[in-house]
Structure 1
Amino acid sequence: MRVTEKGQVTIPKAIRDHLGIKPGMEVDFVQDGSGARVVRVASNRSDRRAKAIEAWADRVTGTLDLDGMDGKEYVDWLRGPRDDLDPR
């Protein structure tokens, strides 16, 4: 394998498949007596939670009809009148 100027290497497909490494996963290089090993970083609970939230956001994208309102108009509508901030 060749190291790029940015310090990147390509992990061969056979090794990625064997370790179960998918795009977006993290790996680490661990030094041992004869060199270094590549290891998959175990995902933690917050990673799984973030992925679940991202999947939910992808599923609901475009399902809210704002009736032509932009983001600020929608938030103002959602909050309702704010007499204490903007008396009319």
Structure 2
Amino acid sequence: MRYETNMTVKGQITVPKDVRDQLGLKPGQKVQIEMSNDGDVRILRASPEAKHEARLARVREVQAAFKAQDPMSGMSNADWFAAVRGPEPEV
């Protein structure tokens, strides 16, 4: 099957209803777009694994950024808590 649709100035296109129904796409659902070396493009329903992998990759990016900026790297938990809480009050 072949469909034609127009692209908006924002680069958005409407996926025809027949295609949405065939792929089981719902509003707000993620899709994957693949482009081959010869310029052909495919629209695919995003798999739950892809969503999980994307989130996991983002978590790893954030962890790496925090680790790179951590002025207290190498501290034990006890040392870190002591630094955050300040000196213990005398009893």
Q: TM-score, normalised by structure 2?
A: 0.44
More helix by share: 2
